Structure formats: C-alpha cells, structure tokens
Copies of this chain bind each other. A is one copy, B any other.
Amino acid sequence: MSAKTDTTTLILDNAQRMVQTRGYHAFSYADISAEVGIRKASIHYYFPHKSDLGRELVARYRESVRSQRRWICLQTSVPEERLQLFAELYRDMLRSGHPEAQGRICLCASLATDLMGLPPAVREEIQSYYIESEAWLAEVLEAGRSSGLLRFDGPAPVQARALFAGFQGAMLLARAHGDAEQYCMVAHRLLAQLGLPIAE
C-alpha cells in the first residue's frame, strides 16, 4: 500500500497510461494537469519540455520491463515457461485499467508508430528497448533449442524478432478488435509453433 505517490511518479504514471492508450501526440500537459491535480505550469517544473517527459517515460518503462524479465528468470529456468510469462506481461497491460480493459499496449509499440515525429532522444530509447527485448528472447530460445524442448530453424535472433513482432502486432490487433483475449489466443499460437506443449 506504500506505493510511491510523489508528484513525479504521478505525472509519469498518468502520462504513460495516456501514451499507451492514445499515442504520444494525443496527450497534453493540460490532460496530465487534470488527472494529477496540479496546474499545467507546475508540470514544467518537473519536465521542462515534453521531450524530457517522453525520454523519461521510455527509460522508466525499459527499466521496469527489465526488472520484470529478471523476476521471470527467478520464477523458472524452463525456457518455455519463461516465454509464457513474458507473453503474460503484455497480456496484463492490455487487461489493466478499469473493469472493461481500455486497452493499453506496449509503450514502445505505441511510440513506434510516431517514431519519425519523435525527438531523437526518445527514438534512441525505443531502439534500445527493442534490442534488449529481442536479445533476451534470443537467449531463451537458444537455451530451449539446446535442451531439445523448443524447435525452430535458423538463427535464434531472427526467431526472437519474429516472436516479438507477433506479440507487438497481436496487441494492436486485439485492441482494434476490442477484445484482449484475442491477444492470448495469438500468443498461445505463437508459442505452440515453437514446439511448446499445450500450456496455461
């Protein structure tokens, strides 16, 4: 219950939710102001420019997902289970929010759309997120193949990127269809193709 409730965190939390649901260019300092309960000008005290806010948003998100991957590695050392738990991170994002999920997708999937219209500093954070995520998946895939539990051809980094692309796209599709469960079905299928026994 002792969640951090300092102003910086409140601003970031609300900004992140809005980017995940509406995109970078569709939220403003005025929107945050209304949610957090302080005036527009006060937000500039914490984040002088919107690009500062954007960069910090991605940096924090990267660190958060990184820490969730570490958590996954503590839970299990079975490659299939690690992939399954990773898929569930994104499932939980889609489901999060009020009763009927509003549909939050991966922060970086949302930002990747506007990529070309984003400050360079933000763009680089996004690229790093993708590189990190794909590298982790590649490691897990390779471990699974070595142990004979996963089956796929070609280099693990390519398979990792294909799997990751599937997750990112599945989030977009699930939200467009207005049904978070569509994500789960697709994720399940993607993992099953790797030779996973029926799980979850």
Contacts and interface: CB of A to CB of B under 8 A. Distances in A.
A172 B177 contact: no
Contact of A23 (B25, B164, B169): B25
B186 A165 contact: yes
A158 interface: yes
Interface string A145-159: 000000011100011
Interface in A78-125: 102-103, 105, 108-110, 112-117
B126 A176 contact: yes
A33 B127 CA distance: 32
A30 interface: no
A182 interface: yes
Contact of A158 (B127, B166, B168, B186): B186
Which bracket fits the contact residues of A?
35 or more
A100 to B, nearest CB: 13
A162 B21 CA distance: 22
A189 B175 contact: no
A162 to B, nearest CB: 4
A61 interface: no
A113 B113 contact: yes
Given A158-B186, A159-B189, A161-B182, A26 B169 contact: no
Interface of A: 21-23, 25-26, 102-103, 105, 108-110, 112-117, 126-127, 130, 152-154, 158-159, 161-162, 164-170, 172-173, 175-178, 182, 185-186, 189-190, 192-193
26 contacts: A23-B23, A25-B114, A103-B115, A103-B116, A108-B176, A109-B113, A109-B172, A112-B172, A112-B176, A152-B193, A153-B192, A154-B192, A158-B189, A159-B189, A161-B170, A161-B186, A161-B189, A162-B166, A162-B170, A164-B173, A165-B168, A165-B172, A165-B186, A168-B172, A168-B173, A169-B170
